[in-house]
Amino acid sequence: MTRYVIRRVLWVIVLLFGVISVTFVIFYLFPSGDPAVLRAGPHPTPQLLATIRHKLGLNKAWYVQYFDYLKALILHFDFGFSYQSHIAVRTQIFNRLPATVSLAVGAAVLSLITAITIGTIAALRRRSPLGCLATGGAVVAISAPVFWVGMISLYLFATDIGKLAILPGAGSYVPLTHNPGKWFASLIMPWCVLAAGFAAASARLMRSSLIETLGKGYVSTARAKGISERRVIVRHALRVAIAPVVTAAGLGIGVLLAAAILTETAFNIPGIGRLTYDSIQVGDLPTIQGTVLLGACLVVVAKLVVDVVYALIDPRARSR
């Protein structure tokens, strides 16, 4: 197991290099036009442009720029500087990280728990109305755009504009350390909205995976041993059925983060996603670059965690 973890960590390092390189290509080489002008903001004075050119080494060859970029990132954690807001991107990001983490992790946990429960019920009670409702509801849930669902829930439940004012509305987020109660209340709607689509997709997968597993030989063998049905389902069937769901969760983390951007925008939560949105609106390229890069790195690391969890479930994966 330890060998497996080490192998995965090495691979993650390779991937991180890949991510950094791709973001370099996207944000330095891809856009046409003068890179300095792009970063200078709405009022580019000649001095500002010169400063930027010097700072980013824009007159050097592209591979030199690439190495400088790498060096700055790895050694100094320097994600760049936003000339529009006059603040280091890193500072902005780390200020806003807790909000996004609260939102994303909470939604991930909620969706996994919901998905496993609903998926199992849908598989075991295939013919009952409950199972069919679950299956049908899941299809609808994955078809609805997350920002729209957010808006609808705000319209219905938000205390300021909602018809049934029961939950805090947009913009009411406070950090956990300030006021845990308010923090929790303000996140309930965003959590549900963000988790809904993800949970629905995972629930569908869980359902079909469990149905397929229940037809396998080892489930019959387990039953033939005289074990209780509950033990057969939990210890023998579920453990195998969950594996594809975990894999899909790993693949879906990137989607979750992207959806978090949309959710933060709809609910006005001061996280990295909202930062990305605002930066797009004002055209602040360095910040966008920084947030996308951070997001991508977080996803790669999160996938590592998911892979390790998967190896805990399926011992055969440890030798891969």
- Smallest separation, CB 265 to another protein (Å): 7
The nearer residue to another protein, 158 or 187, going by C-beta atoms, is: 158
Interatomic CA distance for residues 180 and 14, integer angstroms: 39
Which of 50, 109, 139, 309 binds another protein (CB under 8 A)? It is 139
Asked if 201 interacts with another protein (CB under 8 A), we say yes
The nearer residue to another protein, 155 or 175, going by C-beta atoms, is: 155
Asked if 161 interacts with another protein (CB under 8 A), we say yes
Q: What is the DSSP letter of 232?
A: I
The nearer residue to another protein, 30 or 177, going by C-beta atoms, is: 30
- Smallest separation, CB 195 to another protein (Å): 11
Stretch that binds another protein, among 59-67, 69-77, 97-105, 272-280 (CB under 8 A): 272-280
Asked if 314 interacts with another protein (CB under 8 A), we say yes
Asked if 132 interacts with another protein (CB under 8 A), we say yes
Q: Within positions 12 to 31, which residues make up the interface with another protein, using CB under 8 A?
A: 15, 18-19, 22-23, 26-27, 30-31
Asked if 70 interacts with another protein (CB under 8 A), we say no
- Smallest separation, CB 180 to another protein (Å): 27
Contacts of 61 (CB under 8 A, 6+ apart): none
**Coil, strand or helix: which one is 131?**
helix
Beta-bridge partners for 88: 81
CB 113 within 8 A of CB 121: no
Q: Within positions 218 to 247, which residues make up the interface with another protein, using CB under 8 A?
A: 218, 220-229, 236, 239-240, 244, 247
Interatomic CA distance for residues 288 and 89, integer angstroms: 9
Stretch that binds another protein, among 2-10, 58-66, 67-75, 275-283 (CB under 8 A): 275-283
Asked if 281 interacts with another protein (CB under 8 A), we say yes
Count CB-CB contacts under 10 A for residue 283.
13
The nearer residue to another protein, 142 or 176, going by C-beta atoms, is: 142
SS (H, E, C) 49-86: HHHHHHHHCCCCCHHHHHHHHHHHHHHHCCCCEECCCC
Give 146: exposed, middle or buried? Use CB within 10 Å, 0-12, 13-18, 19+.
buried
Helix (H) or strand (E) holding 208: helix 180-214
Q: What is the DSSP letter of 176?
A: T
The nearer residue to another protein, 163 or 178, going by C-beta atoms, is: 163
